[in-house]
Copies of this chain bind each other. A is one copy, B any other.
Amino acid sequence: MKTIEWKEDGVYIIDQTKLPHQLTIIKCEDYERIAIAIERMEIRGAPAIGVAAAMGIALAAKKVASGSLEEIRIELNKAWHRILRTRPTARNLFWALERMRAAWSSADSPSEIVKNVIEEAIKISEEDVAACRAIGKFGAELISDGDRILTHCNAGGLACVEYGTALGVIRAAHESGKKIFVYASETRPMLQGARLTAFELKIEGIPFKLITDNMAGHLMQKGLIDKVIVGADRITRYGYVFNKIGTYSLAILARAHDLPFYVAAPISTIDLNVTPDNVIIEERDQNEVLYINNTRIAPEGVEALNPAFDMTPGGLVDAIITDKGVVRPPYDFSLLLRQGH
C-alpha cells in the first residue's frame, strides 16, 4: 500500500490525520484538493509532499488537456503557484515543482505537455521509492546488532511513497536480521510519532516503545539509547538540517551523551541555494497545540507558539544518509549535487 498513488482516475492518498484508528483513502481529482491535503497534513513528510505536488500539477494538466497550448500553460502556472504556497519549509515541494515546470516548459503541444507532466510525476514517485531503498541500504551499515534507536516524528513510508528515510534505515537494518529496538517519541503537537511511526513499526513487527518527547534525555542518561535517527525537511549546503520541531533538542541531548545523531534524507531534500537564516520555519495554527482530539487542553484565552520545524547545525550531525551514500562532516553538498545527481 502506497502513501500516494497515481491512478487513471485520480491521485489516491492515505489520510494521515485519521491514522492510526482509521485507514481512510482520499481521492484527489484536482490540484486544489492536493493543495488542501498538503495544508491539512492529510499528506505530510517532505518526500511525500514533493510527490503530491508533482501529481497535483499532473492533475491540472489532465483537466485542461483539450485546451490550447496557451490555456494549458496558464492553468499549469496557476496550479504551480497554488501548490507552491501550501507549506514553506520542505525543500522537496519546491524541488518537485521545479522539475514539473521543466517537464512542461520543454514541450510544445498540449498532448506532449500532458504526457510529460504525468510521466514526470510518476517518475518522481518511483524515484522516491528507489531513493528510500538506497538510503535504507546505506544507512543500515551504520546500525549494529542490538542497537536501541531513538527516532522522532515520522520519517517512514507514510512520509514518503512507501519505504521511508529514517524508518527506511531502521527497516533495512531489521530486514537484514539485526536485532534492534526503537524508541519512538510521540512528537507533539501532531503526534506523528504516536500515530504514524507506531503504526508503521507495529505493521513491520519491529519491537518498539512509545515515549513522550520530554523523556529522551532521561533515557539517554540511563544508557537506554545507542543512536538517534531522524528525517529532514530541508538540508542546506553545509549540512544545516531543518526537521520537525524537537529535532534540535534531540541533537543537543545526543551530543551531551556522546551518542551518534544521524539524519536520513534523499538528495531532493538538499537545497544549495539558501543559508540557514533564509529558510522559513512554518508557524502553524496555535490550535494544534491548544487542542488535542478536539478538546481544549489549556484555559480559554491562553496563547501558544507552534513552530513546526527547527534547525540543527551540521556540527551536531554525525552523518547524513542520502540515496547517494553516507556523508560525513564537514558537510558540503555542492560537490555531490554537481556530480550529475
Residues of A within 8 A of B (CB): 20-21, 183, 185-189, 191, 194-195, 198-199, 202, 208-219, 221, 245-246, 248-249, 252-253, 256, 289-290, 292-293, 295-299, 301-305, 307, 310-311
Which listed residue (B214, B216, B289) contacts A210, Cβ 8 A?
B289
Across the interface, which residues of B come within 8 angstroms of A303, CB to CB?
Answer: 209-210
Instruction: Select which of B213, B252, B296 is within 8 A of A252 by beta carbon.
Output: B252
By the criterion CB–CB under 8 Å, are B310 and A218 in contact? Answer: yes
A217 to B312, CA, bound (A): 10
Are B188 and A212 in contact, with the CB atoms below 8 A? yes
10 contacts between A and B (CB under 8 A): A20-B298, A195-B299, A202-B301, A209-B305, A210-B305, A214-B245, A218-B311, A219-B305, A252-B256, A253-B253
Nearest-neighbor residue (CB-CB) of A207 within chain B: B303
Secondary structure class of chain A's binding surface, majority of residues: mixed
In the complex, the count of this chain's copies comes to: 2
> How far does the Cβ of A219 sit from chain B's closest Cβ, in whole Å?
8
When C-beta atoms are compared, the residue in chain B nearest to A212 turns out to be: B188
Chain B nearest CB: distance from A283 CB in Å? 11
Q: Which residues of B contact A191 (CB under 8 A)?
A: 297
A301 to B310, CA, bound (A): 31
What is the minimal beta-carbon distance from A145 to any residue of chain B, in angstroms? 22
State whether B292 touches A252 (Cβ < 8 A).
Answer: no
Minimum Cβ distance to chain B for residue A60 (Å) = 36
Is A293 touching B290 in the complex (CB atoms < 8 A)?
no
CB distance from A292 to the nearest CB of B (A): 5
* Most B CB within 10 A of own CB, among A188, A198, A249: A249
Q: In the complex, what residues of B have CB within 8 A of residue A302's CB?
A: 194, 198, 202, 208, 210
* A213 adjacent to B214 (CB under 8 Å): yes
Please pick, from B183, B219, B289, the residue contacting A186 in the complex, using a CB distance under 8 A: B289
- The answer to whether A213 and B212 touch across the interface, beta carbons within 8 angstroms, is yes
- Inter-chain contact B217/A249, CB cutoff 8 Å: yes
- Other A-B pairs beyond A186-B188, A199-B299, A210-B289, 4, CB < 8 Å: A194-B302, A195-B297, A213-B214, A292-B293
CB distance from A183 to the nearest CB of B (A): 8
Q: Which residues of B contact A248 (CB under 8 A)?
A: 217-218, 221
Is A214's CB under 8 angstroms from B194's CB?
no
The 5 closest A-B pairs by CB, nearest first: A214-B246, A217-B249, A218-B310, A188-B212, A20-B299
CB distance from A75 to the nearest CB of B (A): 39
A217 B186 Cβ-Cβ under 8 A: no
